[in-house]
Amino acid sequence: MSLQQRIHGASVNEIAVAPGRSEEGARASEPAQPVEPKAAPAEAPPPVRTDPHADLKTRIHRACIAKLGPQLFASDTTEDLGERVEITVREELKLDGTQLSTEELGRVVRAITDDILGFGPIEPLLRDESVSEVMVNAFDRVYVERFGKIEQADVQFADNEHVLRVIDRIVSTVGRRVDEASPMVDARLLDGSRVNAIIPPLSLKGPTLTIRKFSRDPYTIDNLIAFGTLTPKAAQLIAACVRGKLNILISGGTGTGKTTTLNAVSSYVPEDERIVTIEDAAELQLQQEHVITLESRPSNIEGRGEIRIRELVRNALRMRPDRIIVGEVRGAETLDMLQAMNTGHDGSLTTIHANSPRDALSRLETLVLTAGVDLPLRAIREQIASAFDLVIHQARLVDGTRRVTHITEVLRMESDVITLQDVFLATAPAEAHLGRVTAMLSPLTCTGLKPHFLEKMAVHGVMLPAAFFQQEASDLHPAASFSTAAPLKAGV
């Protein structure tokens, strides 16, 4: 059966599927396919099938699924499931009658059980702690991110069908389905890893899978300091800002570590505060006890039942929150967040996809407009300026490290523009164009400017001495340290 036939023939059942998120989909494939042209499939080289047992595996896999059926997805899955699957695989292989050596038999059994119980050829990659992202661009092209760098992995699927089976397996465990009616799915593995799958006809070269692995042990601020993402002094400032209930926006390109930083920064929220987190796919792992975790819901197969972040933000306001943490603003919820912040819900934290602090503010404007409000731009800008106090901006460098490049105060409007003031800055030399071409980056240093938000922090009982913002000797000549910095990756 061809891939298309498989998709057409897929039985559509009750399962809810994520609606199209074009931006997410585009971003998910972005890092792994930097130079792939949008060429017609005819131009691509013919796929090479290197596995001589591919057909056999497909046959046996199908037979086992048919035989084991719902047992595989039963909630009371017992420990002997693995054993049962292996026995069934061996029985079906015997019935099939294909001649295999003992070694081949062992390999085929292992591959099929991995497919049925786990995630097939990418199973070892998901187990590998050094891998942070797994990207299946095509059945014979699997990429991974290790230590911030993307490399091709030494594994392949047998064919597109095989990828599709693994996608089915992944999304069905979280009660979702991918088929022609809903060719795009966002899901989450049981361990919290974020999954995006997109299949033809939307993805031209076959089913595509992107898994952002999530570590059980999320990075702490100390980890981020050890990685050189930020300095202890910058962390001290951020700690004071969080405790002082400033509204903070973390911005950066895709995969620059916004969610990770948000998670780490949220550890500064005092234990006695009631926190409500709102996300599309729950990625945050807050350490506090008093946390309520909300997750949006996609519409079901009839296109009904969707609960967006926006509704959750509104609902959260009725839950007596001390803090509202929204994983990422990417739509109309931005307006509700702004209104919440401007009506006394201080200390909110969120992230946004943007290429600079200034860009983050203009994206906020655009997102507010998607709420369909009839507000003049100036009024929106004023709301943004009075809602947010601070932008923490991150970038990913070509060597894979993530760096905070700006800690910027959002000041008030001056004529038609929101004034920004950098409090900490990792600068690039004048000849480099940050974010567009490779650039060298100095360490994150204090600019010497005393922020205006100290007053707001003081209202919440958090003080920072003015001397904190005095530049140290090394801060005065950042250019001297360029040699130790890594170049910035283009576009992020």
Ligand X SMILES: Nc1ncnc2c1ncn2[C@@H]1O[C@H](COP(=O)(O)OP(=O)(O)OP(=O)(O)O)[C@@H](O)[C@H]1O
Binding interface with ligand X (CB under 6 A): 132-133, 148, 212, 224, 227, 229, 252, 254-260, 353, 402
- Identify whether 201 is preceded by a cis peptide bond (ω within 30 of 0): yes
**Choice between 160 and 260, CB closer to ligand X:** 260
Query: Could you say which of Mg ion, ligand X, none residue 298 binds, taking C-beta under 5 to 8 angstroms by partner kind?
Result: none
Min dist CB 212 to Mg ion, Å, is 8
**Choice between 30 and 51, CB closer to ligand X:** 30
Min dist CB 460 to ligand X, Å, is 27
For 318, 413, 487, the CA distances from 439, given in Å and listed in that order, are 46, 31, 5
Alpha helices in 356-452 (DSSP H): 357-369, 377-387
| Phi (first) and psi of residue 291, to 5 degrees | -125, 135
CA distance 466 to 451: 9
**Choice between 120 and 252, CB closer to ligand X:** 252
Count of alpha carbons within 13 Å of 102, Cβ hemisphere only? 0
**Which H/E stretch holds residue 67?**
helix 54-68
Give residue 111's identity as a one-letter amino acid code. Answer: A
First to last CA, the chain: 41
Min dist CB 256 to Mg ion, Å, is 9
In the complex, which residues of this chain contact Mg ion (CB under 5 A)?
A: 259
Query: Could you say which of Mg ion, ligand X, none residue 229 binds, taking C-beta under 5 to 8 angstroms by partner kind?
Result: ligand X
Min dist CB 14 to Mg ion, Å, is 30
**Choice between 259 and 296, CB closer to Mg ion:** 259
**Choice between 176 and 212, CB closer to ligand X:** 212
**Choice between 6 and 402, CB closer to ligand X:** 402
Nearest to 478 by CA among 433, 429, 434, 435: 429
Query: Could you say which of Mg ion, ligand X, none residue 447 binds, taking C-beta under 5 to 8 angstroms by partner kind?
Result: none
Residue partners of 153: CB distance under 8 A and separation at least 6? 122, 125, 134, 142, 143, 144
Nearest to 313 by CA among 345, 336, 286: 336
Min dist CB 387 to ligand X, Å, is 21
Residue partners of 34: CB distance under 8 A and separation at least 6? none
Min dist CB 258 to Mg ion, Å, is 5
Min dist CB 184 to ligand X, Å, is 16
E strands along 147-257, which residues?
149-152, 184-188, 194-198, 208-212, 248-252
Structure tokens at 453: 């938000």
169, 143, 137, 47: CA torsion to nearest 10: -100
Give 325's strand partners. 277, 349
**Choice between 231 and 259, CB closer to Mg ion:** 259
Residue nearest to ligand X (CB): 257
Residue 54 CB: number of other CB atoms within 10 A? 18
CA distance 212 to 412: 38
Min dist CB 311 to Mg ion, Å, is 21
**Choice between 256 and 266, CB closer to ligand X:** 256
Min dist CB 491 to ligand X, Å, is 13
Query: Could you say which of ligand X, Mg ion, none residue 381 binds, taking C-beta under 5 to 8 angstroms by partner kind?
Result: none
CA distance 188 to 171: 8
Query: Could you say which of ligand X, Mg ion, none residue 445 binds, taking C-beta under 5 to 8 angstroms by partner kind?
Result: none
**Choice between 282 and 413, CB closer to ligand X:** 282
| Phi (first) and psi of residue 379, to 5 degrees | -65, -40
Residue nearest to Mg ion (CB): 259
**Choice between 285 and 362, CB closer to ligand X:** 285
Min dist CB 25 to Mg ion, Å, is 15
